[in-house]
Amino acid sequence: MSWKAILYDWGGLNAALFEAVNHGTPPSLAPFAWLFSSLLGNYWTAPLLILGLWRWSSARGEAPRAALGRRQLGRRQLRGLVAAFALALAIATFLKLLFDLPRPLALYGETVRVIGAAEWRYSLPSGHSLYAILAAGALWPLAGARSRIGLALYVVLVGWSRIASGMHFPADVLAAWIIGLGCLALASRLEVWLLPCATTIAPLAAHHWYAVAGVVAWIDQASKSVIVHEFAYGEVLPVNARFNLVHIGNTGAAFSLLAGASGWQRYAFIVLALGVSAWLSWMLRSAVPPLAKLGYSLILGGALGNAADRVVRGMVVDFLDFHWGTVHWPAFNTADVAISMGAVCLIFNALTQRTS
C-alpha cells in the first residue's frame, strides 16, 4: 500500500467525504459556498487584513500603558502573519508542484458540482484554507471568547466551501490547516531568534551594502539577457497552470503607467531612478539598522537594474507572468522582486523598532 493510499486517500474515506459534502450541499447554500470560497477565503484579501492589523495596533484614545501593550501585540501579530504567510506560500507551492495531485473535477468529471472557475490540477494543499487558518491564527490572540468562536467558524466554513465548490478534497483542506498552524508556530519561533539578531548584528561598511546592490543589479541584467536572447518578443512559455515565462517590454512605470506617452517618459524615469539611487546610496552611509540597510540595498539594486534597461533598451524587460485563469498579474522582473523584498525589509524594520 502506497503512502498516498494511507495519508491522502484514507482508504477511500477522502473521496467518500468529498462526495457527501459536494453532492449533499443543497443548492440554496451555493451562494454561501461561493462567498467563502471565492471572496472571504481568498488570499488576495491579505492586504486588507494587514491594513486592519496595522490600524488596530494604532490604539488611539486609550491609556498610555494599554495603548503601548496593544501596539506591541498588534505589531507582533502583524510580523507573525507576514512571516507565516511567506513560509506557507513557499511550502504550498513546493507541495503543489512536487505532487501535482488532480482536482476532483479531473477525476470525476461532470459528476462534480463546480461553483466558480473550474480547476484541474494542483489540489494539495488548499490555498484558500491555508490562508484562512493563517488569518485566524494572526487574529486569535487579539480576539475575545466570542470572536474566537467566529474565527474558528470562519476557518471551517472556508474549508467546507472549497469542498462544496468542487475545488478540493477534505485531505487538501486538512493538510492546509496543518501547514498553516505549523507556519504560525515556526514564525513565532523565528521572531524570538530574529529580533535579538536585528539589534545585535555588527553593522557592515557601506561598500558591503553597495556590493549587495551590485549583485542584485547583475542578477537582474543577466536574467533579462537570457530572456531577450532565448525568447522572441511576445513569446509565452507556460511553466504550470499559474505561471508563464514571457518576453514583453514596458516603456512606462509600474503597471504600465505612462506607457503610451510619446517617449519623454523614458528620460524622466531614468532621471528619477538615478535620483532615487543617489538618495539610497546616501542612506546606506547613514546610521540606520542593518535590516533597513538591507532593504535600501535591495531597492537600490532593483532601481539600477531597471534604469539600465531604460538606458540600453529603451524599455524595461518583464518576463515573470503569474495568473489565475484569465486574470493576469502585470508581468514583472527580478528587479521588481528585489524592490518588493526591500520594501518588506523596511516595513519589518519599522515594526521591530521599539514603540515610543
CB neighbours of residue 312 within 10 Å: 11
Domain boundaries, the chain: 3-200, 206-352
DSSP class per residue in 96-161:
HHHH-PPPHHHHHGGGS---SS---S--SS-HHHHHHHHHHHHHGGGS-HHHHHHHHHHHHHHHHH
Highest mean pLDDT among 1-5, 46-50, 348-352: 46-50
- Distance, in Å, from the CA atom of 300 to the CA atom of 279, rounded to the nearest integer, reads 9
Output 155 or 67, whichever has higher pLDDT: 155
pLDDT of residue 68: 53
For the domain covering 3-200, report its CATH number: 1.20.144
- Distance, in Å, from the CA atom of 279 to the CA atom of 273, rounded to the nearest integer, reads 10
172, 220, 309, 318: the catalytic one is 318
pLDDT of residue 355: 43
Span of 68-77, 253-262, 264-273, 308-317 with lowest mean pLDDT: 253-262
Q: Is 318 a catalytic residue?
A: yes
Write down the mean pLDDT value for the chain.
Answer: 83
- Distance, in Å, from the CA atom of 53 to the CA atom of 47, rounded to the nearest integer, reads 10
- Distance, in Å, from the CA atom of 243 to the CA atom of 43, rounded to the nearest integer, reads 17
HSE-CB at 356 with a 13 A cutoff on CA atoms is 1
Residue entry with cell 512605470: 253
172, 220, 321, 336: the catalytic one is 336
Span of 20-24, 188-192, 315-319 with lowest mean pLDDT: 188-192
- Distance, in Å, from the CA atom of 273 to the CA atom of 310, rounded to the nearest integer, reads 10
286 has a pLDDT exceeding 80: yes
Phi and psi dihedrals of 238, rounded to 5? -65, 130
User: pLDDT tens digit string along 157-206?
Assistant: 999 999 999 999 999 999 999 999 999 988 877 665 555 544 444 556 67
% the chain with pLDDT above 90: 34
> Is-contact 96 124, C-beta < 8 A?
yes
3-state DSSP assignment of residue 323: strand
Radius of gyration (C-alpha) of the chain in whole angstroms: 23
pTM (2 decimals)? 0.64
What is the number of residues in the chain? 356
CB neighbours of residue 182 within 10 Å: 14
Q: Is 220 left (phi over 0), alpha (psi -120 to 50) or beta?
A: alpha
